[in-house]
C-alpha cells in the first residue's frame, strides 16, 4: 500500500497529520523544522520531492501562498519529484490569485492540484471535525474524498477554481471580526467594573453566543494564548480578503478595521500567539 504524504506540521497541520495516522494511514512527511515530526512516529522525508516520490496523494498545510510556492516549485520541491498522476491537496488558506498558478504548474507536470482550505483549528482537526471547502476538478475531488472524510465532518465542493479560497477568506472575515469584538466587549465590561468571568458569561448567553465565543472564552478568562490559530494567520487572511474586495471593486468595512486591530499584535511581538491574544493587546491599550 502506497504512503500518504503530508507537508507542513505547524499547529493545525500537525493535528491533521496525527488524525490521519490515528485513522490508520501510513504517512511520509516533510517539515522545515524536522523536530515537529518526531512525535508522529512516521517516515520523515529529506525534501518535498522525496515525499512526492513515495506517495500518490500529498496534503499541504502551510502558512501562506509564498510557502506553498516554495514547497511546490522551489529547489527540492514537490514538482521535482516523480509526480505524474499524483494528487496534491492544499489545505492552506491561499491568495485567490496564486492558486491559479499552482493549478497550472501541476498540470504542466501531469499531476493534479486541489484547493481544500479548512475551517476550524487544532481541536476539531484532532477529532476529524473540520469543515473543508474544496475547489478543482471533480475527478480530483472524488479521489481525495476518502481522505477528506477522515478530517472533516462537513465538506463543501464548490467546483470552480479559486472559489474555495475565496469562501475561506469570507469565513475568516466573520472569524476575525467576532474575535476582535468579543475581546473589546470583554475589556469594556471590565472597565465598567464587572468581573471578567461575569462579562464573558453574559456575552455567551446573549449577543456574543457563537462558535468563536465557545472556542475562545476560556482562553480569555485564563489568559492562556497558547497557539491554535495565530494572530499572524488571521492578519494574513484579512490582508488577502482586502485584495479580494479590491478585485471585486467593492468596499471592505469591518474587515479593514479588524485587520488593523490584529496588526497591533505585531507591535507587541505577540503575533505568533493565538488570535485570542488580541484581548490582551486591547486591554493594554486601555491602560489595564
Tell me how far apart the alpha carbons of residues 230 and 213 are, in angstroms, rounded to a whole number: 16
pLDDT digits (tens, 9 = 90+) for 165-186: 999 999 999 999 999 999 999 9
Q: Which of 3, 36, 168, 236 is catalytic?
A: 168
Query: Each residue of 49-75: b (16+ CB within 10 Å) or e?
Result: bbbbbbbebbbbbbbbbebbbebbbbe
Q: How confident is the model at residue 272 (pLDDT cuts 50, 70, 90)?
A: very high
pLDDT grade for 39, boundaries at 50, 70 and 90: confident
- State how far the Cα of 73 lies from the Cα of 160, in Å rounded to an integer: 23
Computed over every residue of the chain, the mean pLDDT equals: 96
Q: Show the domains of the chain with their CATH numbers.
A: 3-160 (3.40.50.720), 166-285 (1.10.1040.10)
Tell me how far apart the alpha carbons of residues 251 and 12 are, in angstroms, rounded to a whole number: 31
What is the tens place of the pLDDT at every residue in 245-254?
999 999 999 9
Give the span between the Cα atoms of 210 and 49, in whole angstroms.
42
- The yes-or-no answer on residue 168 being catalytic is yes
Q: What are phi and psi of 55, to 5 degrees?
A: -140, 145
Residue 1 has pLDDT above 70, yes or no: no
d(CA 99, CA 78): 15
What DSSP assignment string belongs to 9-49?
-SHHHHHHHHHHHHTT--EEEE-SSGGGGGGG-SEE-SSHH
Kindly report, residue by residue over 114-137, the tens digit of the pLDDT: 999 999 999 999 999 999 999 999
- The predicted pLDDT at position 287 comes to 76
The candidate with the shortest Cα–Cα distance to 281, out of 208, 241, 232, is 232
pLDDT in tens, 52-85: 999 999 999 999 999 999 999 999 999 999 999 9
pLDDT, residue 114, reads 98
Amino acid at each position: 500500500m502506497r504512503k500518504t504524504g503530508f507537508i507542513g506540521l505547524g499547529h493545525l497541520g500537525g493535528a491533521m497529520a496525527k488524525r490521519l495516522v490515528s485513522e490508520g494511514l501510513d504517512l511520509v512527511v516533510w517539515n522545515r523544522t524536522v523536530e515537529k515530526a518526531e512525535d508522529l512516529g512516521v517516515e520523515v522525508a529529506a525534501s518535498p520531492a522525496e515525499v512526492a516520490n513515495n506517495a500518490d496523494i500529498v496534503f499541504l498545510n502551510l502558512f501562506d501562498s509564498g510557502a506553498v510556492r516554495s514547497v511546490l516549485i522551489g529547489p527540492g520541491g514537490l514538482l521535482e519529484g516523480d509526480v505524474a498522476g499524483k494528487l496534491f491537496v492544499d489545505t492552506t488558506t491561499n491568495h485567490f490569485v496564486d492558486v491559479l498558478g499552482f493549478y497550472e504548474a501541476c498540470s504542466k507536470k501531469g499531476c493534479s492540484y486541489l484547493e481544500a482550505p479548512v475551517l476550524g483549528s487544532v481541536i476539531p482537526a484532532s477529532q476529524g471535525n473540520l469543515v473543508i471547502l474544496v475547489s478543482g476538478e471533480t475527478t480530483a475531488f472524488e479521489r481525495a474524498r476518502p481522505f477528506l472524510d477522515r478530517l472533516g465532518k462537513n465538506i463543501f465542493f464548490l467546483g470552480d477554481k479559486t472559489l474555495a479560497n475565496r469562501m475561506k477568506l469570507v469565513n475568516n472575515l466573520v472569524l476575525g471580526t467576532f474575535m476582535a469584538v468579543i475581546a473589546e466587549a470583554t475589556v469594556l465590561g471590565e472597565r465598567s467594573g464587572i468581573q471578567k468571568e461575569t462579562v464573558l458569561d453574559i456575552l455567551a448567553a446573549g449577543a456574543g453566543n457563537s462558535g468563536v465565543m465557545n472556542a475562545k472564552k476560556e482562553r480569555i478568562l485564563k489568559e492562556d494564548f497558547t497557539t491554535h490559530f495565530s494572530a499572524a494567520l488571521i492578519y494574513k487572511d484579512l490582508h488577502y480578503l482586502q485584495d479580494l474586495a479590491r478585485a471585486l471593486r467593492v468596499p471592505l468595512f469591518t474587515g479593514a478595521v479588524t485587520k488593523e486591530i490584529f496588526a497591533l499584535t505585531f507591535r507587541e511581538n505577540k503575533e505568533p500567539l493565538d488570535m485570542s491574544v488580541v484581548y490582551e493587546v486591547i486591554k493594554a491599550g486601555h491602560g489595564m
